[in-house]
């Protein structure tokens, strides 16, 4: 069972945004999600989820019932019953996931999932940053740009210099690569961008490549 779960996590880690619409709906109300987290972890609360057991276990169901009742009765919060239930489920799942990743047999799998998620997040930010400096005559070429066509950015050191080692995707067209270089230069000409982003270093394995 653990092997199946690990395989499932690995297969889907790079497609969270596309394939996890139910969980996106659960976190639609961040105020409720934060209230659930704070109440669950408060020193006065002795009803805590047991991640080694399923959400439908008697103990965890009792915890959910307590959280639901307390949040519903709060005069400072207004939320639908379903929103609170979903927030409880989402928080339990985060605790469950953390628990399972800490198991010795899943340590390497957890690092892989975290690395993939971090890489995808960086590519998404890169896509959005470059889109923000597009010129009108560059829009047509940019239409083919996707998260997967942005370069990977990995923390590292090249020739003693620390920064992000950049690995451009081999499937990107020359036209889009040229545009990415133009947009990146445009971004790095902005002092604010330079001050908040790491130096981009070319991977030693692809020296001379565009990124």
Residue 91 or 8, more confident: 91
In order of 9, 101, 114, 167, the CA distances from 3 in angstroms are: 10, 12, 18, 31
**How confident is the model over 100-128, as pLDDT tens digits?**
878 776 667 777 777 888 889 989 999 99
| CA–CA gap between residue 185 and residue 135 (Å, rounded) | 13
Q: In what order do the strands lie in the sheet with 161-167?
A: 152-158, 161-167, 200-202
DSSP characters over 98-110: HHHHTSGGGHHHH
Three-class DSSP category at 162: strand
Average pLDDT of the chain is 82
**How confident is the model over 39-88, as pLDDT tens digits?**
999 999 999 999 999 999 999 999 999 999 999 998 888 888 899 999 99
**How confident is the model over 164-194, as pLDDT tens digits?**
888 889 899 999 999 999 999 999 999 988 8
* Residue 176 and residue 168 in contact, taking contact as beta carbons nearer than 8 Å: no
Place of tokens 């080692």: 165
Q: What is the pLDDT of residue 173?
A: 93
Pull the structure tokens for residue 77: 């919060």
207 CB neighbour count, 10 Å cutoff: 8
Q: What is the pLDDT of residue 155?
A: 82
Looking at the DSSP bridge assignments, the partners of residue 201 are 165
| CA–CA gap between residue 182 and residue 165 (Å, rounded) | 19
Q: What is the pLDDT of residue 28?
A: 59
């Amino acid at each position: 069972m653990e092997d199946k779960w690990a395989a499932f996590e690995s297969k889907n880690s790079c497609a969270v945004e596309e394939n996890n619409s139910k969980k996106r709906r659960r976190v639609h109300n961040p105020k409720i999600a934060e209230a659930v987290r704070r109440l669950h972890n408060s020193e006065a609360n002795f009803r805590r989820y047991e991640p080694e057991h399923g959400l439908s276990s008697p103990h965890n169901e009792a915890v959910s019932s307590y959280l639901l009742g307390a949040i519903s009765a709060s005069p400072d919060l207004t939320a639908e019953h379903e929103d609170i239930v979903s927030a409880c489920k989402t928080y339990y799942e985060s605790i469950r996931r953390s628990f399972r990743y800490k198991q010795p047999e899943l340590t390497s799998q957890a690092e892989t999932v975290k690395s993939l998620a971090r890489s995808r997040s960086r590519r998404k930010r890169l896509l959005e940053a470059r889109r923000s400096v597009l010129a009108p005559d560059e829009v047509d070429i940019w239409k083919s740009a996707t998260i997967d066509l942005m370069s990977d950015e990995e923390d590292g050191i090249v020739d003693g210099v620390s920064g992000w080692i950049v690995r451009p995707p081999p499937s990107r067209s020359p036209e889009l690569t040229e545009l990415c270089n133009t947009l990146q230069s445009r971004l790095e000409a902005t002092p604010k961008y330079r001050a908040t982003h790491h130096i981009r270093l070319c991977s030693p394995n692809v020296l001379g490549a565009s990124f």
